[in-house]
A and B are shown apart, each in its own frame.
Chain A
Amino acid sequence: MFVATVITVGIVTSSQLVTERIGLLLDRQASELLAADMVIVSSAEFDPAYRQAARQRGLQVSSSVSLRTAIFVDDDPRLVELKAVDDAYPLRGRLERAREVAGERSVSSEIPARGEVWVDTKLAQLVDQSLSLGETSFDTRWLLTFEPDRGGAIFNLAPRVLMNIADMPATGLVVPGSRVRYRMMFAGEQGDINRFKIWLTENLKPGEEVQDLENARPEMRQALERTRKFFALAIVLTLVIAMAAIAITARYTASREAPKVAMLRAFGISQKNLFRYYLKQLGGLWIAATIAGIAVGWVTQFPLQWALDGWFGRTLPQVYSLKPYFFAGLVGLLALAGFSLPYLINATATPPMQVLRTAVNRRSWLRGLLITGSAVVAIFGVLVLLMQSSMLAVATLAMVLVCAFALPLILGWMVKLLLFSSQRRFWLRQYLLSRLQASSRGAIYVMSGFSLVLIAILLIAVVKDELLGSWQEQLPEDIPNYFLINIRSDDIAAVGAYMQQHGIEASTPYALARARLTQINSIDVDEIDFLHPRADNMVRHTFNITHASEIPDQNEIVAGEWLDPDDPRGQLSVEQGMADRLELEIGDELTLTVGSKTLRAAVTSIRTVVWENFKPNFYLIANPGLLADLPQTGLLSALIEEQNKADLRRLLQRFPSITLLDITELMARVRNIVDKASVALQFFFLFALASALIVLLAAIQTGRHEREIESALLRALSAHTNQLYRVHVLEFTLMGALIGFFSACFATVAAWLISVQFFNIEFHFSASVWAYSLLSSCLVLTIAGIMVSRRVYNVSPMKILRS
């Protein structure tokens, strides 16, 4: 029990430390999309106190100013997004530049020097020319091929011009009334950032807002959230295994303690005193196991760090928080209390008459309920503690419980069926099966425990190989690599036709308007207290709203009905995440402001969106009638292969308002996250295997004494050692086959539930799960059988019989 608890605490410590570190790394990579760990934006200049306060907290600070202005290209006026940055920019991520559009890209550690600008590839013709910005002329030295914080409102981008912030005053572009966007970026250790964020939130002025990944990149957020869910699930399944080890060892300990308890109760020691006595022992065990487990967990993170560093290509950031250790101790306590206390309570109720006669310990339904209830509370507590999504926790708990309850019944029934299915002619078979049934529910419980462990391992394997594989399939190689944005509404149809004519694979063109949510059911959103922490963030920002008569690809209605094109009333289809955060339901009326106009429409459907598919995705889709007469621009995504580049150039010449957005880099980042998730899950798989070994050892230990006595007796009665050896090994192999079969059944059902219900990933039946389950179970248990038998036959029969 001590070893099992050490393992549990060790797993939690190590997995918490590593997931926190991976999480930090992922956050940091995500931060690269913001070019910082945290950003504040405003249309007015920031109070210099912010910079000062950030520096005092050890943070790096960078500032940028951006605004839209017109430049002249070949005497044509073009709207550009001018951004002026300081030397510290970018705090996270990197700039990439090239001399020509198809030229080699190089990472730059510098920003444009004073007097020079770098321009978007769309403005390639300006390279090595002079460019007038306001009252100053600049040399155009480089094409800007990548900047990390290209911005959340990707569909509204005009071509970028990047300059040094020191040159900005000279341009005279920033004057009172000009639409300038100020950004102040911060980077540093997570703890410092968190503390600064608290301070900043309290000191922000009206019009200033904190920008994070949530409003910057929904596709990245979804990828990260999914990764975290994968991690959490893997950890929980690993913990289930460790807790199964505690339960098996606790049961064993309790059964060993029963004679002692009977003796003490015969002496008149009350149950209360006995319980207190065991509680004290358990407390001591918890303290010792927590210390040892934390040490084990802390040490094991280093080889893991070494392994993961290699795979991740960079060092995992350090975690300085005590949270992982605290969680580990708490989980150890919950697991120990939840799984062993009920058994000990049961043990303290051993009838004293057992000292005179080995009576059956009368197990009342109340005590059975206590054991089950306590285990349920323990598992649930651990799941809620460690998992973000409580629904996933409840579902995992339900599955674990179904397995835990069903397995002993099914396995017991199966053995009985085999035992009595034919006449008792073949003694070996009968002896073998009666061995499984005997000792008796003990063997069944050990089989169930081992089966539960195998199911958990299979599920981790399914998550690791099958679910991640399916997720990767959602990111096929031929997904769009360009967005064409700012298409004038008059040109939308013509652009679509052009794409079709030149055989370029493109999405349906969508007309976009920028909308802000102002009221829900005629109540101002400012007056609503949303429960979800991200809800406020959502209502502060504008959304892209589009109209469509058909539901977009990979969107799925989960509530209500898709927009009715014949219904003239305003209708909205809302993305599920947005509906959850804003607590929207079918029939709710939303008030939206688009430009100077106000729209009212009812929510008629809620749909899921696969943000990572890089197709045009929307929080809000309206029926076509709702957005008529509103200012709109067009958007489509396209897969543009090398041979189509010339067609694309001609298209851009024909429709000069279009901005081209290359999302290859972003796509690569999401793919990278998926790959990293896969590597990290390998690690949890190893942990699961390690704890499974403990379960196996615990299981072996459970029946050892009985086996020793039995074999000593049989040997004393002239049974051949080889004969008994074969029977024992066969017994374990048969056990393995039964366990393998049922584990594969349960794992398949559970994997289907998890993938469809919680990860929204298509489920594929996996024959390999069955093969692994049957083979590994038979193999492992046969080896265990050999180990057990060797030990049993090494013990002198005389010693056993005398004892």
Chain B
Amino acid sequence: MAEDNLCIALNQVGKFVDTPDGKLDIVNNISLDVKYQEAVVIKGASGSGKTTLLGLMAGLDQASAGEVFLFGENLAGKSEEQRSAIRSGRVGFVFQSFHLVQGATAIQNVMLPLELSGVDGAHDQAQQSLHQVGLESKTDTLVEHLSGGEQQRVAIARAFAVKPRVLFADEPTGNLDATTGRQIADLMFHLRDQSGTTLVLVTHEGELLERGDRQILIESGRLLNGAAA
């Protein structure tokens, strides 16, 4: 059973896949705790298993071994729908490739998860969120007409609009130049400080690494340091 003050807890978690050459371990025997309001940065080389670990922590994927607790609930044996219900309204995401809905405006992108969650006043909430990321003048612009930095701002606005307890970010600055990346990182941490949201961030960018409360290093699917909060 996870402790009450833990937002995420992993207990000897493993993830493997079957290949023609036998079982391949992607993540192996990882135990890790993340407290509420903590900012944890996961770092590692390409192919080290950091994105898989993020997916397991967020309940996007099911662990092959061990237990994952999110908001105190054990995700083991839970269906995708049940895991989805645990995330609903409590989790935000920011991705490297933005994952915005093309052909829709900035505000429509932010509103979409709110509306689908049945949130009242989705429009106002989305507008406020876009204001927070400095895009109040671009609310009705189609996302494909925005720059990379602006698109990532929309994605951050979308993530924070649901008022998440935890925000998962996968290489949020990976597709941006250094200056824009810095602005995005500032924005994300600023919003996190304002809202007290827990932050789990996967990156290999030095600057972002420095800004986390704790760094976790992963190599070949194994945790090298930073397991304990």
CB distance from B101 to the nearest CB of A (A): 5
Please give, as numbers and ranges, the residues of chain B lying within 8 Å of A352 by CB-CB distance.
60, 80, 84
CB pair A270 B88 closer than 8 Å: yes
Tell whether B1 is near chain A: CB-to-CB under 8 Å: no
Please give, as numbers and ranges, the residues of chain B lying within 8 Å of A259 by CB-CB distance.
99
Chain B contacts with A in 79-93, Cβ cutoff 8 A: 80-81, 84-93
CB pair B55 A268 closer than 8 Å: no
CB pair A356 B87 closer than 8 Å: no
Q: How far is the CA of A270 from the CA of B116 in the complex (A)?
A: 9
Chain B contacts with A in 55-102, Cβ cutoff 8 A: 55, 58, 60-61, 80-81, 84-93, 95, 99, 101
The interface stretch among A39-47, A271-279, A564-572 is A271-279
Chain B contacts with A in 94-132, Cβ cutoff 8 A: 95, 99, 101, 112-113, 116-118
7 closest cross-chain pairs (CB), A and B: A268-B88, A268-B87, A267-B113, A353-B60, A263-B99, A352-B60, A269-B116
Tell whether B197 is near chain A: CB-to-CB under 8 Å: no
CB pair B60 A270 closer than 8 Å: no
CB pair B84 A268 closer than 8 Å: yes
Q: How far is the CA of A269 from the CA of B90 in the complex (A)?
A: 11
Please give, as numbers and ranges, the residues of chain A lying within 8 Å of B58 by CB-CB distance.
266
Of B101, B117, B144, B170, the residue contacting A269 (CB under 8 A) is B117
CB pair A267 B91 closer than 8 Å: yes
Tell whether A260 is near chain B: CB-to-CB under 8 Å: yes
**CB nearest to B89 among chain A residues:** A268
Tell whether B176 is near chain A: CB-to-CB under 8 Å: no
Tell whether B208 is near chain A: CB-to-CB under 8 Å: no
CB pair B85 A268 closer than 8 Å: yes
Tell whether B199 is near chain A: CB-to-CB under 8 Å: no
Please give, as numbers and ranges, the residues of chain B lying within 8 Å of A297 by CB-CB distance.
none
Give the total of B residues in contact with A, Cβ under 8 Å: 30
User: Can you list 9 A-B pairs with a CB-CB distance of less than 8 A?
Assistant: A265-B84, A266-B58, A266-B93, A268-B85, A268-B86, A270-B81, A270-B85, A355-B60, A356-B51
**CB within 8 Å for A351 and B99 given contacts A264-B116, A268-B89, A356-B51:** no
CB pair B81 A356 closer than 8 Å: no
Please give, as numbers and ranges, the residues of chain A lying within 8 Å of B144 by CB-CB distance.
803
CB pair B93 A355 closer than 8 Å: yes
Please give, as numbers and ranges, the residues of chain B lying within 8 Å of A654 by CB-CB distance.
none
Please give, as numbers and ranges, the residues of chain A lying within 8 Å of B113 by CB-CB distance.
264, 267, 269
CB pair B84 A355 closer than 8 Å: no
**CB nearest to B117 among chain A residues:** A269
Tell whether A363 is near chain B: CB-to-CB under 8 Å: no
CB pair B116 A277 closer than 8 Å: yes
Tell whether B27 is near chain A: CB-to-CB under 8 Å: no
CB distance from A199 to the nearest CB of B (A): 56
**CB within 8 Å for A355 and B90 given contacts A260-B101, A268-B84:** no
CB distance from B81 to the nearest CB of A (A): 6
CB distance from A608 to the nearest CB of B (A): 58
CB pair B55 A353 closer than 8 Å: yes
**CB nearest to B161 among chain A residues:** A267
Please give, as numbers and ranges, the residues of chain A lying within 8 Å of B112 by CB-CB distance.
264
Tell whether B54 is near chain A: CB-to-CB under 8 Å: yes
- 13 additional A-B pairs beyond A269-B117, A270-B85, A271-B81, beta carbons within 8 Å, are A262-B99, A266-B58, A266-B60, A267-B87, A268-B90, A268-B117, A269-B88, A271-B80, A273-B116, A273-B118, A274-B116, A355-B60, A355-B99
Chain A contacts with B in 570-629, Cβ cutoff 8 A: none
Tell whether A650 is near chain B: CB-to-CB under 8 Å: no
Q: How far is the CA of A270 from the CA of B87 in the complex (A)?
A: 10
**CB nearest to A274 among chain B residues:** B116
CB distance from B164 to the nearest CB of A (A): 9
Q: How far is the CA of A800 from the CA of B54 in the complex (A)?
A: 29
Please give, as numbers and ranges, the residues of chain A lying within 8 Å of B92 by CB-CB distance.
267
Listed in ascending order, the chain B residues whose CB lies under 8 Å from chain A are 51-52, 54-55, 58, 60-61, 80-81, 84-93, 95, 99, 101, 112-113, 116-118, 144, 162, 170
**CB nearest to A359 among chain B residues:** B61
Please give, as numbers and ranges, the residues of chain B lying within 8 Å of A355 by CB-CB distance.
60, 93, 95, 99
CB distance from B24 to the nearest CB of A (A): 14
**Which of B52, B55, B81 gathers the greatest number of chain A CB atoms within 10 Å?**
B55
Of B51, B91, B95, the residue contacting A268 (CB under 8 A) is B91
Tell whether A357 is near chain B: CB-to-CB under 8 Å: yes
Binary interface encoding of chain A residues 334-362 relative to chain B, with 1 for a CB under 8 A from any of its CBs, else 0: 00000000000000000111011100000
Q: How far is the CA of A271 from the CA of B79 in the complex (A)?
A: 12
CB distance from B44 to the nearest CB of A (A): 14
Tell me if A's interface is mostly helix, strand, loop or mixed.
helix
**CB nearest to A803 among chain B residues:** B144
**CB within 8 Å for A357 and B51 given contacts A263-B99, A267-B162, A268-B87:** yes
**Which of B84, B90, B95, B113 gathers the greatest number of chain A CB atoms within 10 Å?**
B84
**CB nearest to A260 among chain B residues:** B101
**CB nearest to A352 among chain B residues:** B60
CB distance from A708 to the nearest CB of B (A): 14
Binary interface encoding of chain A residues 245-285 relative to chain B, with 1 for a CB under 8 A from any of its CBs, else 0: 00000000000000110111111111101100100000000
Please give, as numbers and ranges, the residues of chain A lying within 8 Å of B162 by CB-CB distance.
267
Q: How far is the CA of A357 from the CA of B47 in the complex (A)?
A: 12
CB pair A356 B170 closer than 8 Å: yes
**CB nearest to B98 among chain A residues:** A263
Q: How far is the CA of A270 from the CA of B89 in the complex (A)?
A: 11
Q: How far is the CA of A569 from the CA of B55 in the complex (A)?
A: 85
CB distance from B78 to the nearest CB of A (A): 13
Q: How far is the CA of A267 from the CA of B93 in the complex (A)?
A: 7
CB distance from A357 to the nearest CB of B (A): 6
Please give, as numbers and ranges, the residues of chain B lying within 8 Å of A356 by CB-CB distance.
51-52, 54-55, 60, 95, 170
CB distance from B221 to the nearest CB of A (A): 15
**Which of B51, B86, B88, B118 gathers the greatest number of chain A CB atoms within 10 Å?**
B88
**CB nearest to A271 among chain B residues:** B81
Q: How far is the CA of A265 from the CA of B144 in the complex (A)?
A: 22
Of B90, B93, B117, the residue contacting A263 (CB under 8 A) is B93
Binary interface encoding of chain A residues 429-444 relative to chain B, with 1 for a CB under 8 A from any of its CBs, else 0: 0000000000000000
CB pair A273 B117 closer than 8 Å: yes
Q: How far is the CA of A356 from the CA of B86 in the complex (A)?
A: 19
Q: How far is the CA of A521 from the CA of B79 in the complex (A)?
A: 64
**CB nearest to B58 among chain A residues:** A266
Please give, as numbers and ranges, the residues of chain A lying within 8 Å of B91 by CB-CB distance.
266-268
CB pair B117 A351 closer than 8 Å: no
Please give, as numbers and ranges, the residues of chain A lying within 8 Å of B80 by CB-CB distance.
265, 271, 351-352
CB distance from A532 to the nearest CB of B (A): 51
CB distance from A260 to the nearest CB of B (A): 5
**CB nearest to A272 among chain B residues:** B81
Please give, as numbers and ranges, the residues of chain B lying within 8 Å of A267 by CB-CB distance.
87-88, 91-93, 113, 117, 162
Chain A contacts with B in 271-306, Cβ cutoff 8 A: 271, 273-274, 277
**CB nearest to A256 among chain B residues:** B102
Please give, as numbers and ranges, the residues of chain A lying within 8 Å of B117 by CB-CB distance.
267-269, 273
Binary interface encoding of chain A residues 788-803 relative to chain B, with 1 for a CB under 8 A from any of its CBs, else 0: 0000000000000001
**Which of A266, A274, A352, A357 gathers the greatest number of chain B CB atoms within 10 Å?**
A266
Q: How far is the CA of A259 from the CA of B51 in the complex (A)?
A: 17
**CB nearest to B168 among chain A residues:** A266
**Which of B89, B99, B118 gathers the greatest number of chain A CB atoms within 10 Å?**
B99
CB distance from A2 to the nearest CB of B (A): 14
Q: How far is the CA of A226 from the CA of B80 in the complex (A)?
A: 55
Please give, as numbers and ranges, the residues of chain A lying within 8 Å of B54 by CB-CB distance.
356
Q: How far is the CA of A367 from the CA of B152 in the complex (A)?
A: 35
Please give, as numbers and ranges, the residues of chain B lying within 8 Å of A353 by CB-CB distance.
55, 60-61
**CB nearest to B59 among chain A residues:** A352
**Which of A270, A273, A353, A356 gathers the greatest number of chain B CB atoms within 10 Å?**
A356
CB pair B170 A266 closer than 8 Å: no
**CB nearest to B112 among chain A residues:** A264
Q: How far is the CA of A351 from the CA of B58 in the complex (A)?
A: 13
CB pair A271 B93 closer than 8 Å: no
Q: How far is the CA of A274 from the CA of B144 in the complex (A)?
A: 23
**CB nearest to B61 among chain A residues:** A353
CB pair B84 A270 closer than 8 Å: yes
